[in-house]
Chain A
Amino acid sequence: MSERRVAVCGGGIFRPDIWRGECAEEGVAIAYRDMLKSIPGFDPADVDVLMMSYFSDHLNQQLCMGWIIQDYLGFHNKPGYRVEAGGSTSLDAIANAYFMIKSGMFDVILVPGWEWMSEVDTATTNMMIASAADTDWDFTVGGYYNAYYASLEVRHMQLYGETCEDLGRIAVKNHNAATHNPYSQWRMEHGTAYITLDDYWKSKLVCWPYRTLNNALISEGAACLLLAAEDKVKRYTDNPMWITGVGLGTDSMRPGDRLVDFPFSSFRDKAAIYPDFVKRPKTPYPEMANFGSMHAAALRAYAQAGITDPLKEIDVAELFTPYDGVELCFYEDLGFCGRGQGKNVVREGLCEYGGELPVSMSGGLTAQGHPVGATGLYQTIFLYYQLAGKAKTKYGQNALQVKNARRAMVTGHGGTACQGGVIIFEKD
């Protein structure tokens, strides 16, 4: 592996919405144009590889959609790869681009990402997404990710005592942050008024304890990201966002199998806090309460970036949290606090704007939008402008700019945490 560093050099956005008139290749082209506008030094001839980030084939009845994209963008003599890892797709695309540049084989990689999720009705979209769950064993009962995640959250609530109100607080935080983001789906739908817990209780219950405002949006949208090796970075940006840690992890396909999760048996110490009134499974971490894949990924990324106290040492984070209980559990699995302490992070406002480590100030999956293959790219672009200190140039005068942010984190996560990833970014 080469010693040279790899940086994110900028990106472009085609904002997510419940429906976009443009089709995917046009949306990606518009995102690419947006990127071209913000990186005047960029020459398409520089691109060595296209790393295409999209999750689904069946939502659009199109196999090999990546071939349409590389052709539409005019890159059709370059190498092109498709990366797919469920919800972790865009995180994995960035990680793979990083690995390729780091290997010394390639210098400049363009990462286009997209998802068009509204071609079938909402119930069918949900069904098609849930077919990423085990279709013999989990999908056949209920067939709905919200229900699976809700069950995981109920287990965590029972073990550690967070309340529905805690989940409401996270929803309010992310939705209100999204009102500052002029590319967010929530602002398109709702406007710029803040919501309160009262509004949260009025939103429809989907699967107890999750209400509509706790759940990821269904979106159509696209984004483009540019990654380059150290010696090429200067052509593109004065504010390179260096990748200083990349960690990936996985867990069982069926969450029910995590009661005897052999690869995690060495994580027993993480389960020190385990209430005695509930039966303790053979391997108490992560079982069906926490997200072992994320914990494993974080440990790997932190080791590379030299992080020992993430809450203090990271300044701004965009977490991949399709449901708000996931955000609370991630506080624990990413080491912001001990196991079972996620509720305290919420109650003390540590991850709100102005707190110790602001999380998902773009609005995240539940409020900025969630066109799967583009989601992590939106979040990474958001972090790029945060570290550059230029959030207001991209997101307008009301944008939430985290002051003096030097180190950032983005995560990805797919299935019921079957796969997870963490990337650490730093500015010079």
Chain B
Amino acid sequence: MDKKNMKDSAPGKTVSKESAPKKYTNYPTVIDHSTEVQKEWAPWVRQGLWDIKGYRVVKGPAGGGTIDESKKNLKEFMVIDRTEASLYSHSYGLVSPFFLGLLEGKLKGTKCPNCGTVYCPPRAHCWNPECRMTETEWIDMPLRGIIHTFTVQCLAAAPFEHILPFSLGWVQVEGADTAICTMLHIPYHDLFIGQKVNLKFRPKAERKGDLMDMYAVAVPGQKVPKWAVLQSDEKQLNRLDEATAATTEFIKKRYGLDNSKRGW
């Protein structure tokens, strides 16, 4: 990253050709929400270069054979701490209008002019073998759908840990033939497959143009059907309550966040 390029450009500003990173200088940058981020991340990436930061010595079971054999053969191993950090500038490709749509609070899909299949998430080319990679056309999707399936998470990868416990699922948007992976801001006691949902967007200032900008809420007034897989087994529901309560406590301790009051 050229230092000169990081100056003078505020987020959201349309930038001049000269201030864009080198690889893009042949093409106009239309919107720039990146330069400030790159500036912020540069020291992290530098710190995360493959540098050896520390070490420890661990005495552990060594060699081949069974557990018993290797337990008799203890050796000292030197373990180093080596870092890696990167900032990837990834293009969303031909389906970029979908993500730009999220920024505007709009949900877009694509439709094959040949077979009529509606994709949400969109595909730029139809995957029906009969359509021979026909280019699809953009359509606006309604902000409504039904839950195809879901889970309740008590553990998550690092970037999502602080919002635990939460539910995610796949929503089949009205009119779409496929389902899209979405956060469900619905208390799991109410959650069921086939549930009607409305799709909402985070406040405009918080949107980043990725799928986390959008979430589903339940259409009010729906009853949990008797056959619902989670609620039909009271024991399971109780066990899940215990697990999510423990998770909420863990997040409180670790991040100082009380996720029990947000209503989902």
Q: Which residues of A contact B (CB under 8 A)?
A: 12-15, 17, 19-22, 30-31, 33-34, 58, 61, 123-124, 126-127, 130, 135-138, 140-144, 146-147, 150-152, 154-155, 157-158, 163-164, 182-184, 187-188, 201, 204-209, 252, 254-257, 259-260, 262-263, 275, 277-279, 281-282, 288, 396
Contact = CB atoms under 8 A, between A and B. Distances in A.
B127 A21 contact: no
A262 B127 contact: yes
22 contacts: A13-B64, A34-B64, A127-B158, A136-B92, A143-B160, A144-B160, A151-B150, A155-B149, A158-B193, A158-B228, A205-B239, A206-B153, A207-B151, A208-B236, A254-B121, A256-B178, A257-B121, A259-B172, A259-B179, A260-B117, A262-B129, A278-B193
Interface string B199-231: 000000000001110000000000001011110
Contact of A123 (B157, B177, B179, B212): B157
Contacts of B63: 22, 30
A279 B194 contact: yes
- B-side interface mostly: mixed
Contact of B168 (A13, A17, A147): A147
B181 A146 contact: no
Nearest to A277: B227
B54 to A, nearest CB: 14
A282 B172 CA distance: 12
Given A206-B153, A255-B170, 7 more contacts: A15-B65, A141-B211, A142-B157, A152-B149, A154-B229, A257-B179, A259-B172
A256 B121 contact: yes
A168 to B, nearest CB: 11
Interface stretch (B21-29, B35-43, B66-74, B103-111): B66-74
B155 A207 contact: yes
A265 to B, nearest CB: 9
B86 to A, nearest CB: 10
B168 A259 contact: no
Interface of B: 50, 58, 60-68, 70, 75, 77, 82, 84, 90, 92, 117, 119, 121, 127-130, 146, 148-161, 166, 168-170, 172, 177-183, 188, 193-194, 210-212, 225, 227-230, 233, 236, 239-240, 243
B64 A61 contact: no
A126 B157 contact: yes
Shortest 4 CB-CB distances between A and B: which pairs?
A21-B77, A205-B243, A182-B66, A256-B179
A152 B181 CA distance: 12
A396 B69 CA distance: 12
Contacts of A150: 151, 153
Contacts of B183: 141-142
A21 B108 CA distance: 51
A141 B181 contact: yes
Contacts of A158: 149, 193, 227-229
B156 A143 contact: yes
B148 A155 contact: yes
B115 to A, nearest CB: 9
A142 B153 contact: yes
B178 A144 contact: no
Contacts of B58: 21
Which of B155, B168, B227 has the largest count of A CB atoms less than 10 A from its CB?
Answer: B155
Given A143-B156, A282-B177, A256 B229 contact: no
Given A31-B64, A141-B181, A207-B154, A164 B233 contact: yes
A141 B194 contact: no
B131 to A, nearest CB: 9
Contacts of B77: 21-22
Contacts of B62: 21-22
A17 B135 CA distance: 49
B67 A257 contact: no
Contact of A208 (B70, B121, B128, B240): B240
